Structure 1
Amino acid sequence: MRKVAILGAELFEDQRELALFGLTDIEATYYTCKDPLELVEQLSDVDGLIVNLEKVTSELIARLGNLKVIGRYGVGVDNVNLKAATERHIAVINVPDYCVDEVAEHAVSFILAANRKLFSSSALTKQGVWGKVKDLKPIQSIKDITLGIVGTGRIGMKVISTMLPMGTQILVYDPYLKQENLPQGVTLVSLDQLLESSDIISIHCPLTEQTRYSFNAEAFQKTKRKPAIINVSRGPIIQESALIEALDIGTISFAALDVMEIEPPPADHPLLNHPKAIVTNHIAWYSLQSEIKLRDLLVSRVIDYLNGEPVPSIVNKF
């Protein structure tokens, strides 16, 4: 009997996976923990490990001598030590083909709300200010703004296809893309050009060593139009200390974030109560449908891998 350990048990409350595992000769066990090393004795003989945001370190991998596959409950795998897994010939599987519409919708909601300054308007209403636009100026028509998109994977392209019919001018930065691969009306530019020319910037790139803190003080100083910044990708792409300073001095006009450097952020984090920021609790991925799809796809792919079947989303190669 092969064994799979599922961490982040709170994410699997409806136990759909138990039904899937019940059709196989694989035994599934659910755990809740902050640090998987706390469970190393219980995990010592597992063949598969499914994780959410738990850190799968080189130390943990070294101590799980029977491990063959790691399933990441989501798209990003920055919490898994890919080098250590690859050296051990342990497959790392993610689910890149879910929640595209949901995250794009969240980003577009942020973009439209930031452009109309809905969050600031709501705050003024609570202060008793009614019918006055003085403190909200300028608000532009959506077709007259320039939107900068950083990263054009599935989600970035979905945001582009949603915003294009509104007449928005769209600039794109993606070092792996060519202009001919973009829709008509979308312009590929350098990151510096995007920073200088955008009214709103929406981030859709993965977290890598190249993108970590790529939005820092130096980047914010290159902005010319006091843009709003949207991040539904990964928190550490933005250096939060630099963002707070940019908001305070007005280099950045507004920040709408679904992800943070440290999650969950401390209750006294300056961005949580900043008048020029809104933070949602890393829920851009969620809909009833996407949650079911994510669980079923990940579990079925882990089962397929352990059964020697081909799997479409192995992140590492060995």
Structure 2
Amino acid sequence: MRKIAILGAQLFEGQRELQLFQSMNMEAVYYTCRDPLEIVDKLADVDGLLVNLEPVTAQLIHHLGNLKVIGRYGVGVDNIDLEACSGRGVAVINVPDYCIEEVAEHAVSFIFSLNRKLFTSSNLTRKGIWGNVSVLKPIYPIKDITLGVVGTGRIGMRVIQMMTAFGTNIIVHDPYLTQDDLPSGVKLVSFGQLLEASDIITIHCPLTPQTHHLFNTEAFRRMKQQPSLINVSRGSIINEQQLLAALDQELVSFAAVDVMETEPPLPDHPLLHHPKAIVTNHMAWYSVQAEIKLRDLLTTRVIDYLNGKPVPSIVNKPAIEK
């Protein structure tokens, strides 16, 4: 009988998954841990492993001699050592085809809130400042700002579609696109041009060696409009310490992020308490429907892989070729 371990310290209890695996005559157990190495003795003979943000290191892979497949709750796989998995012929499966609307809506909610300076206005109200708009100036109609979009995968492109309906001037940086790939009226620009022209920047690129700390002191100093910055992608695309300095120096007007470099952040992390920042708790992906879709798709794909059926979202090529 196939054995599956479901880890979910930062997600949810896996009762739905347990039932699906058991219906396919597979033994599944749910564990709560921050690091799978803490329970490596319990995982030693598993065929499949489902993880959220738990680190899957080469050391862990070395100890799991029977492992055949890893399922990642979500899109990004930067917490998984893909090279170690490929070397062992272990397939890594993600779910890139869920929560597109949810994350795009979260980003658009940030865009409108930042443009109307709602977070700043709320903070002023708490301090007893009422009816004084002079401290919020300037605020422009959404159609008169320039929105910079970094990365145009499914979510980034959906944000573009949503904001185009409001007549917003949109510029895009994505090294893998040509101008012909974008909707009419949306302009493809260099990263430097985007930094210099944007009033609000929203990040939708994956975390790779090339995008790690893409937003750093050098980038912040090129921001001529002192834009607001949104991140609903991966925390480490922004250098948080340098962002804090940029907020203090007014190179960046405001930061709205749903992801951080270390998750969960420590309670005293300065970004959580900065007057020019708001941090939501990595929940942009969530809706009732998105959670069900995520859990069902990932479980079904792991089951299919173990049963020798084709799976649409294996992310490491050596495993595909195996």
TM-score (ref. length: structure 1): 0.99
1:214-247 per-position Cα deviation (integer Å, ceiling 9, x unaligned):
1000010111000000000000000001100100
**Other-structure match for 2:118:** 118
> What letter corresponds to residue 117 of structure 2 in structure 1?
K
Alignment RMSD, CA only? 0.9
The SS at the match of 1:170 is strand
**Other-structure match for 1:205:** 205
The SS at the match of 1:29 is strand
1:158-199 per-position Cα deviation (integer Å, ceiling 9, x unaligned):
000000010100000000011101000100000000000000
Mapped contact 2:18–2:29 kept (Cα < 8 A): no
1:131 CA drift (Å): 1.1
The SS at the match of 1:223 is coil
**Other-structure match for 2:266:** 266
1:130 CA drift (Å): 1.1
**Other-structure match for 1:223:** 223
Mapped contact 1:9–1:30 kept (Cα < 8 A): no
1:87 partnered with 2:83: no
Show the 5 A alignment for 1:292-303: 292-303=292-303
The SS at the match of 1:208 is coil
> What letter corresponds to residue 131 of structure 1 in structure 2?
G
**Other-structure match for 2:27:** 27
Mapped contact 1:48–1:68 kept (Cα < 8 A): yes
**Other-structure match for 1:232:** 232
**Other-structure match for 2:242:** 242
The SS at the match of 2:11 is helix
1:137-174 per-position Cα deviation (integer Å, ceiling 9, x unaligned):
11111000000000000000000000001010000000
1:40 partnered with 2:31: no
Q: Distance in 2 between matches of 1:275 and 1:151?
A: 28
**Other-structure match for 2:178:** 178
Q: Distance in 2 between matches of 1:111 and 1:10?
A: 27
Mapped contact 2:104–2:158 kept (Cα < 8 A): yes
1:34-92 per-position Cα deviation (integer Å, ceiling 9, x unaligned):
11111111111000000000000000001100000000011100000000000111000
Mapped contact 1:203–1:232 kept (Cα < 8 A): yes
Q: Distance in 2 between matches of 1:267 and 1:86?
A: 37
Q: Distance in 2 between matches of 1:13 and 1:91?
A: 24
The SS at the match of 1:6 is strand
Mapped contact 2:13–2:30 kept (Cα < 8 A): no
Q: Distance in 2 between matches of 1:147 and 1:155?
A: 15
1:307 CA drift (Å): 0.3
**Other-structure match for 1:60:** 60
The SS at the match of 2:317 is coil
Q: Distance in 1 between matches of 2:16 and 2:55?
A: 24
Task: Compare 21-30 and 159-168 and name the one that shifted more.
Answer: 21-30
Mapped contact 2:199–2:226 kept (Cα < 8 A): yes
Mapped contact 1:7–1:31 kept (Cα < 8 A): yes
> What letter corresponds to residue 219 of structure 1 in structure 2?
A
Q: Aligned residues: percent identity?
A: 69
Q: Distance in 1 between matches of 2:15 and 2:290?
A: 15
**Other-structure match for 1:73:** 73
The SS at the match of 1:50 is strand
Gaps of 5+ in 2: none
The SS at the match of 1:171 is strand
Gaps of 5+ in 1: none
Mapped contact 1:144–1:168 kept (Cα < 8 A): yes
Q: Distance in 1 between matches of 2:149 and 2:289?
A: 26
Show the 5 A alignment for 1:270-309: 270-309=270-309
Q: Distance in 2 between matches of 1:231 and 1:68?
A: 34
> What letter corresponds to residue 133 of structure 1 in structure 2?
V
Q: Distance in 2 between matches of 1:140 and 1:282?
A: 29
Mapped contact 2:14–2:30 kept (Cα < 8 A): no
Q: Distance in 2 between matches of 1:262 and 1:115?
A: 28
Q: Distance in 2 between matches of 1:5 and 1:173?
A: 40
**Other-structure match for 2:251:** 251
1:9 CA drift (Å): 5.6
**Other-structure match for 2:168:** 168
> What letter corresponds to residue 168 of structure 2 in structure 1?
T
> What letter corresponds to residue 280 of structure 2 in structure 1?
T
Number of matched residues?
318
Q: Distance in 1 between matches of 2:20 and 2:52?
A: 19
